[in-house]
Amino acid sequence: MSSNRFQTVPVTLTCLTMILAVNLLAAEEKPELQESLSQRFFYNDDGDRLVFLLNGPFHERQLQYPVDALAGTGVTTLVFCANFGSDQAYYPSKVASSLGWREVESTRKNKRFTYFNRIHEVGNLIKNRKIDPLGIVMQRADTQGLEFVPSLRMNDTHFLNKVPPTEHPSTGEFWMNNQDLTIDGGALDFSHKKVRDYRMGQIIELIDGYARNGFEMDFSRQPKVFPDGKGRQGMNLITEMVKQTRLRLDAKSQRDGQPRFLIIRVPHTLELCQHYGFDVGGWMAHNLVDYIVPASPDRYFQFDIPLDQFVDLAHQMDSRCRVISGTDSYRATPSMYRAAMSNYYAMGQQDTYLFNFFAARAEQRNYYPFRDEDYALLRDLKSTITLWGRPKHFMSAGWFPGQSIEVTKEGDTHETVIYIGEDLQLCHNEHILKNARLQMVIDAAHIDDRFSFQLNGIDLDNHNLNRNGSIFAFDVRNQLPKRGWNTVSVICTKLSDDSRPVIRQTELFTDYDLTGIYEPEPTLNE
């Protein structure tokens, strides 16, 4: 198939800028289009359930399932991936590849890829029946009273996994025809105008056709858009794309009177944003974006994205932009998710954003359909009010691979930090704190090794220590962690000659009894 269709978009970007700038000025003259951002609960669906997670013959009503699963929950806004990866469209695109645009021999030989066979088969059915899956999802969301936002992963590189991209069934046609425009044979290189025009072509048709309430640019999965060390140099190029997207959204809003918001997912620290080429501060200062969603590109659940730094930056820029954590749900338990959300609300988050929630399982099992506890969790995560009095499991960042600490000699003090968003002192004062267990995981410690521990510089009572293998646990209801950052210190007081302990992580488990914890009245002798 020819690649010529990837080289042009309906209007040149230069002309588009001039046309839309006029429309933007007109929109600014109509204050009724300036929406005040109410509290929202965003649910990001990657589209897998359209094809991957269902068995049996394909039928059109399957396309409604991802929406119907959210009925009756606190979710207000469905953010739906428009493409499989970045480059196979769930809609009749004139720019991107069609779903299952090519058949790859490896899918027939390798059982691991059986679901890709279904992609190809469903793609053919969509083409033959003239079905628009994204449009059906959008219409169903409207029927169910949900806002709808198409999401475009700006440089998704899932197709680089496991097998060469030339053999992988999720590789897009544009990538196949433009391998010279990639970074080390991988992600597309946005230094090239042809790449940016291609992505803008996708953005334009998604906004025009499907941006019912807004649009999302996802730079978090994955963030590499420039060669190593070239992010800051290319920053203006990405900002220009953000401007064009904002203008296109505002022009559509001006035509129909419907305000629309722009969401951008970015790496989870301001330093990484700068490194990769995302001028978050500049976007905020010029009110180009309504929601910034910091999210780690790594598939590990995070409790301590420095959300407060993004919130502070928005305040410094006097920006209307709201900041929401976008942590990946992968490998998370319900209590872990409650803890993380309580952290981010404490850091200044006003809204809720779920990403890969269908994979929010610590245990191995089928991701779909939801269970009762999944629906209960959706209810819990809506706000600080619904999180109150629900079990939580906080963890330090040390549970990430490569962030462990090796103990090499006696007398050294090793510190880990853990963020606690819960007001445990208030829970204690209200007599509902049933359990607060602080524990450190220290692998490879010899039975004769000895340690002492401190919480925020105050010794933890070793008489209150419960050691079970690699787990060193304390009941800290009488020495509570504070709300915010806490420092846990581990001091090795005795180290065996052949021992090399490794501090893996620090955790806090909390549980509650909203009926109140019984406390006997003091006796006369007391």
Query: Are 480 and 411 in the same domain?
Result: yes
Query: Are 416 and 343 in the same domain?
Result: no
> Within a domain: residue 215?
yes
What b/e string do you get for 366-391 counting C-beta neighbours within 10 Å, with b at 16 or more? ebeebeeebeebbebbbbeebbbbbb
Query: Are 383 and 412 in the same domain?
Result: no
Assess whether pLDDT exceeds 50 at residue 339: yes
> Within a domain: residue 519?
no
Residues 187, 225 contacting (CB under 8 angstroms): yes
> Within a domain: residue 520?
no
> Within a domain: residue 34?
no
Query: Are 358 and 214 in the same domain?
Result: yes
> Within a domain: residue 35?
no
Q: Where among 338, 363, 387 does a domain terminate?
A: 387
Local structure of 74: helix, strand or coil? coil
Query: Are 404 and 354 in the same domain?
Result: no
Residue 51 confidence (pLDDT): 66
Query: Are 234 and 360 in the same domain?
Result: yes
- In DSSP terms, which residues pair with 420 in a beta bridge? 484
Alpha-carbon gap, residue 440 to 39, rounded angstroms: 37
Domain CATH for 450:
2.60.120.260
Query: Are 102 and 118 in the same domain?
Result: yes
Q: How many C-beta atoms surround the C-beta of residue 277 within 10 A?
A: 23
340-357: average pLDDT: 95
pLDDT tens digits, 433-480:
999 999 999 999 999 999 999 999 999 998 889 999 999 999 999 999
Query: Are 319 and 406 in the same domain?
Result: no
> Within a domain: residue 14?
yes
> Within a domain: residue 524?
no
Highest mean pLDDT among 14-23, 152-161, 239-248, 368-377: 239-248
Query: Are 259 and 331 in the same domain?
Result: yes
CA atoms within 13 A on the CB side of 331: 9
Query: Are 398 and 479 in the same domain?
Result: yes
Local structure of 33: helix, strand or coil? helix
Domain housing 348: 4-27+40-387
Farthest-apart Cα atoms in the chain, separation: 92
Alpha-carbon gap, residue 507 to 418, rounded angstroms: 8
Number of domains in the chain: 2
pLDDT tens digits, 372-413:
888 999 999 999 999 999 999 999 865 555 568 889 889 989
CA-to-CA dists, residue 78 to 16, 207, 300, 397, 424, angstroms: 29, 15, 23, 29, 33
pLDDT tens digits, 246-286:
999 999 999 999 999 999 999 999 999 999 999 999 999 99
Alpha-carbon gap, residue 126 to 133, rounded angstroms: 8
Alpha-carbon gap, residue 75 to 71, rounded angstroms: 8
Q: Where among 335, 357, 387 does a domain terminate?
A: 387
Residues 146, 70 contacting (CB under 8 angstroms): yes
Query: Are 373 and 484 in the same domain?
Result: no
| Residue 344: Cβ-neighbour burial (10 angstroms; 0-12, 13-18, 19+) | buried
Domain CATH for 236:
3.20.20.80
Residue 35 confidence (pLDDT): 55
Q: Where among 365, 387, 409 does a domain terminate?
A: 387
- In DSSP terms, which residues pair with 83 in a beta bridge? 89
Query: Are 364 and 413 in the same domain?
Result: no
- In DSSP terms, which residues pair with 491 in a beta bridge? 413, 452
